[in-house]
Each structure stands twice: as structure tokens, then as C-alpha cells.
């Protein structure tokens, strides 16, 4: 294989890398200018204008790069396999590469001018996006670990990026400490699996495991691998970083952590479990549990759903509330993987995708309200509908979709997930999980409605600034776009479902 062909197949990653470098260069160049202007306050206006211009250029370059990368993905051949699974191009991988890049794109649009050193910030988002591409595009354990680390390190930095806010630093540190521990577990688990099977490629692992009994060592390896992913998707009890990170990080970082990183993690988790470890699926049926990874995931799911929803009930900060609800949603999403099979994986992928768009939009609203009112406690949202009907309407779409009400995408997603889980297993053995999930949805409706009640009740709104929220057009349009996606995928889910199912082997 020639290098040229290799470059062609890896062109999306290469394009995003180049874009990241260019953005970084622009950022660094303009940043030096700012420092100079800082020591000589003679021409502050000029330097401010220069920074603004460089911000716009950075954003434009990043957006253009991502669009080119998406085009490149579309142009790739439908199937290719490099170095025994290190870089695999398949319809599924390409679809989710596109989803990840779109999420990164929306994050960049939302982030406009959120922090200082904007060029560096964008470059880190792009680096995280490369990590996601590697995660999604690989079917080999080592490469996946590299992807995990690249994403993780970028996200730690993004979390701690707000130098003016001590909570951002705290969140970054917590995220880093938990994350690196989880990575260590994953790496250890992967090494055990490699030791047992002698290979790191998914399909080869599956072939080996087909002839092997489930030994305690193998089970330990799988469980340790799961720890790292449970951390990534914020499933309880590995969720402890999430509330702090969601609350302390710059809002766009939190949005990216909750959307892009989660989608990619679910794609990889699904592929590892359903392809690599498929011979030791086990069974999570109520009366007939069989040892394997699915009972472990079932425990994680049930625990996440109950804990996330119950703790979210008492939150007074919207970002913390979203964090705990994210824990619960990770639990719902796992149902599809536990059910297994093509249908189950499809349901999980659909749900995690629409969830990512929903949360991205919700965080967008939070960002705008935070800029306006200086905080993101629930009280800051009181009377939002009088101040900005558009944002209030979009927030209603996001919250109701999270609660799972029609005609929004969350409703269809839950229906799909739960029906798949119900159908799986002999004699509806997963009914218990479906009941737990439905019970969790019932609880969650309460706190989502509380948020909406605050937003739409205007009697007490006079206490807060009654001024309409007037802000840059770009974030608003991004939020409206996310709301439109959530609504359209609710009315016409076929659009995404058919693509996912067609991409699944």
C-alpha cells in the first residue's frame, strides 16, 4: 500500500489535524499581539479589534476545515481496512464520523468568543474531534486506546480552560484524576485481553473467544475495560466527575463532553461488546442471568437510571441537573447494548445521536442565559419565555425530548430502545430493566417540568432582568438548528433509523 493511498483513506483525520494546526498558529500569532497591547495600553481598541478579527478567522477556518473533512468522509470508498483493523472504513464508521464532526461543528458555532485565547481553544476542540474520529474509525484495541487518550486529554484541557473561574480548574482536575484512573483500568483490562487472546483486533478476538470458556481472568479483563467506557459515558457509579465537569467547565466544553465524546464512546463500546466480545454476551434476564458482560452492563444501567434521576430531583443548578440526567440517559442508552443484536445496537446508536443534539442545544441555551444573567442556577431561567421566546421554545423542545414526550426525537428513541429491550431474551427477561427505565422516565418528567415551569411562568420574572436577551446571531441559529433536528427526527425518525440500520452489518 502506497503512502498516497494511505493518506487518501485517512484524509478526514489529516484534514482536521491540519485545520487544528492552522487555527493554533493563528491563535498564537494574534495572542502575542494581545500581550503586547496589554503592556502598552496606548492602543487598546486596535488590539481588541485585532483579536476579534482573529477570532472570526479562527472560527471560519475551523468551520471550513470541518466541512471539508465531512466532504472527504462522504467521498471515501465505502469499505476499507488498514493494518488489520487499525483504521476501518465502513458505512457505520463513516456515518458516525460525520455525526461526530457535525457535533464538533455545532460546538464551535456555540462557543463563539466564549473564552480568552480563542484560537487555542478551537484547536483543542479540533484535536478532541480527531480523537473521536480515531475512536469511531478503529476496530483495534490499541488504536482505540489512543483515541480515548487523545479525546480525554483534550477534554481535560477544555474543561479547565476558563482561567477566570476557579470552578473550571477544579472541574478540570477532577475530570483528569478520575479520567486517568479509568484509563489505567482500561489499559490493564486491554492488556489482560491481549494476553488471553494474543490479538488486538476485534474480529480476531471474537474468533478466539468462540472456542474459549469464560475464565475469571477474561472476565476481569472485560470488567476493567468496561470501567473506562463507563467513565466516558458517565454511567453510575463512575459518574462522579460529571456533575462538576458539566457545571464548572466552559459551557461549550461541557456541551462537547456531553455530546461528541458520548456518541463516540457508545459507538466504540457497542463495537467492542457486540463484535469483539459477542461470544461471551451472557444474559441479563431476570430469572436466568448468565455470566458475561451483559449482566454487568444491566447493573450499570439500572443503577445509573435510578441514581441519576433521583439525584437530579434535588438539583438547583441546571448544569448539574443536566449532568445527573446524563447519567440516567447513559443508563437508558445501555439498554440497547444489553439487548444486543443489530436492532439493539441500532436503537442505542439512534438514541445516543439524538441525545447528543438535544444536550448540545440545551447547553447552548444555558450558555446564552449564563452570559445574560451571570449564572446558570434554575432561578436564572425564571421568566425566560418573556425575555426570549425563541430560547424558551427551544429549551422546551430539548427538555420534553429528554423526558421522552412526542412528537420529539426522545420519544421515538425511548420507544425504540425499550421495545428492543423488551423483545430481547427469552420470555421478556429484560422486562425488569424496561420497568426500571420507565419508572426513571416518570421521575425525570418531574424535574424537566420544573425547569419548564420556571421558564414559562412569568409572574415572578420581574425580579430578574426583564430585558430581552440580545446576543450574537450565531449561537441562536445553532440552538434553533439543534431544536429543529430534534423535532424533525421525532416526526420523521426514518431518516436516521434507516441510515443506521443500513450501515449496521
Question: Would you tell me which residues interact with other proteins (CB under 8 A)?
Answer: 400, 405-407, 411-412, 415-416, 418-419, 422-423, 428, 431, 434-435, 438-439, 441-442, 445-446, 449, 452-453, 456-458, 493-494, 497-498, 501
Instruction: Give 280 or 396: the residue with its C-beta nearer to other proteins.
Output: 396
Question: What is the DSSP track for 337-392?
Answer: HHH-HHHHHHHHHHHHHHHHHHHHHHHHHHHHHHHHHS--BGGGGTTHHHH-HHHH
Instruction: Give 13 or 343: the residue with its C-beta nearer to other proteins.
Output: 343
Instruction: Give 144 or 354: the residue with its C-beta nearer to other proteins.
Output: 354
Instruction: Give 188 or 415: the residue with its C-beta nearer to other proteins.
Output: 415
Nearest to 51 by CA among 107, 119, 109: 119
Instruction: Give 225 or 444: the residue with its C-beta nearer to other proteins.
Output: 444
Angle of CA points 57, 62, 67, to nearest 5° = 125
For residue 290, report the phi and psi dihedrals to the nearest 5 degrees.
Answer: -120, 135
Query: Min. distance of Cβ 38 from other proteins in angstroms?
Result: 48
Query: Min. distance of Cβ 375 from other proteins in angstroms?
Result: 23
Q: DSSP assignment, residue 272?
A: I
Query: Min. distance of Cβ 30 from other proteins in angstroms?
Result: 43
Q: DSSP assignment, residue 290?
A: B
Nearest to 471 by CA among 371, 359, 366: 371
CA distances from residue 142 to 8, 128, 146, 202, 442 in whole angstroms, order as listed: 22, 17, 6, 11, 41
Contacts of 297 (CB under 8 A, 6+ apart): 226, 273, 284, 334, 337, 338
Q: DSSP assignment, residue 438?
A: H
* Contact (Cβ atoms closer than 8 angstroms) between residue 437 and residue 415: no
Nearest to 448 by CA among 410, 409, 404, 399: 399
Query: Min. distance of Cβ 447 from other proteins in angstroms?
Result: 11
Instruction: Give 230 or 339: the residue with its C-beta nearer to other proteins.
Output: 339
Query: 81: helix, coil or strand?
Result: strand
Contacts of 436 (CB under 8 A, 6+ apart): 302, 305, 306
Instruction: Give 53 or 438: the residue with its C-beta nearer to other proteins.
Output: 438
Instruction: Give 185 or 456: the residue with its C-beta nearer to other proteins.
Output: 456
Amino acid at each position: 500500500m502506497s503512502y498516497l493511498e494511505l493518506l487518501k483513506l485517512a484524509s478526514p483525520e489529516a484534514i482536521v489535524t491540519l485545520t487544528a494546526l492552522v487555527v493554533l498558529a493563528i491563535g498564537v500569532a494574534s495572542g502575542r499581539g494581545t500581550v503586547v497591547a496589554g503592556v502598552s495600553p496606548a492602543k487598546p481598541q486596535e488590539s481588541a479589534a485585532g483579536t476579534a478579527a482573529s477570532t472570526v478567522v479562527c472560527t471560519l477556518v475551523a468551520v471550513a476545515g470541518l466541512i471539508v473533512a465531512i466532504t472527504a468522509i462522504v467521498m471515501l470508498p465505502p469499505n476499507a481496512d488498514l493494518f488489520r483493523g487499525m483504521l476501518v472504513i465502513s458505512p457505520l464508521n463513516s456515518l458516525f464520523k460525520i455525526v461526530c464532526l457535525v457535533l464538533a461543528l455545532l460546538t464551535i458555532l456555540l462557543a463563539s468568543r466564549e473564552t480568552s485565547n480563542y484560537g487555542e481553544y478551537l484547536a483543542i476542540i479540533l484535536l478532541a474531534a480527531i480523537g473521536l474520529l480515531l475512536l469511531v474509525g478503529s476496530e483495534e484495541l490499541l488504536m482505540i486506546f489512543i483515541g480515548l487518550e487523545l479525546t480525554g486529554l483534550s477534554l481535560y484541557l477544555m474543561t479547565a480552560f476558563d482561567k477566570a473561574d476557579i470552578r473550571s480548574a477544579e472541574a478540570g482536575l477532577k475530570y483528569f484524576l478520575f479520567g486517568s484512573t479509568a484509563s489505567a483500568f482500561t489499559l490493564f483490562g486491554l492488556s489482560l485481553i491481549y494476553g488471553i487472546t494474543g490479538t488486538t483486533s476485534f474480529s480476531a478476538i471474537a474468533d478466539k473467544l468462540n472456542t474459549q470458556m469464560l475464565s475469571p481472568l477474561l472476565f476481569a479483563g472485560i470488567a476493567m475495560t468496561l470501567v473506562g467506557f463507563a467513565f466516558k459515558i458517565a454511567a453510575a457509579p463512575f459518574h462522579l466527575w460529571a456533575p462538576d465537569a458539566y457545571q464548572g467547565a466552559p459551557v461549550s466544553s461541557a456541551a462537547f463532553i456531553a455530546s461528541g465524546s458520548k456518541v463516540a464512546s457508545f459507538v466504540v463500546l457497542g463495537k467492542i461488546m457486540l463484535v469483539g466480545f459477542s461470544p461471551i454476551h451472557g444474559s441479563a434476564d431476570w430469572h436466568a442471568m448468565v455470566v458475561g458482560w451483559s449482566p454487568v452492563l444491566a447493573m450499570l444501567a439500572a443503577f445509573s437510571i435510578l441514581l441519576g434521576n433521583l439525584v437530579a430531583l434535588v438539583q438547583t443548578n441546571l448544569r448539574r441537573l443536566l449532568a445527573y440526567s446524563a447519567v440516567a440517559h447513559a443508563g437508558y442508552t445501555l439498554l440497547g447494548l444489553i439487548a444486543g443484536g443489530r436492532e439493539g445496537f441500532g436503537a442505542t446508536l439512534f438514541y445516543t445521536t439524538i441525545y447528543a443534539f438535544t444536550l448540545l442545544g440545551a447547553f447552548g441555551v444555558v450558555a446564552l442565559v449564563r452570559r445574560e444573567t451571570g449564572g446558570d442556577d434554575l432561578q436564572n431561567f425564571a421568566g425566560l419565555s418573556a425575555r426570549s421566546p425563541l430560547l424558551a421554545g427551544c429549551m422546551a423542545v430539548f427538555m420534553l425530548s429528554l423526558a421522552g414526550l412526542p412528537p420529539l426525537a426522545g420519544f421515538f428513541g425511548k420507544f425504540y430502545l425499550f421495545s428492543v429491550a423488551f423483545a430481547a431474551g427469552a420470555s421478556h427477561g429484560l422486562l425488569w430493566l424496561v420497568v426500571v427505565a420507565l419508572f426513571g422516565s416518570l421521575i425525570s418528567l418531574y424535574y424537566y417540568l420544573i425547569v419548564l415551569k420556571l421558564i414559562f411562568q412569568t409572574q415572578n420574572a420581574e425580579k430578574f432582568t426583564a430585558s430581552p436577551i440580545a446576543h450574537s446571531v450565531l449561537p441562536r441559529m445553532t440552538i434553533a438548528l439543534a431544536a429543529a433536528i430534534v423535532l424533525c427526527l421525532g416526526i420523521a425518525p426514518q431518516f436516521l433509523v434507516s441510515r443506521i440500520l443500513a450501515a449496521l452489518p
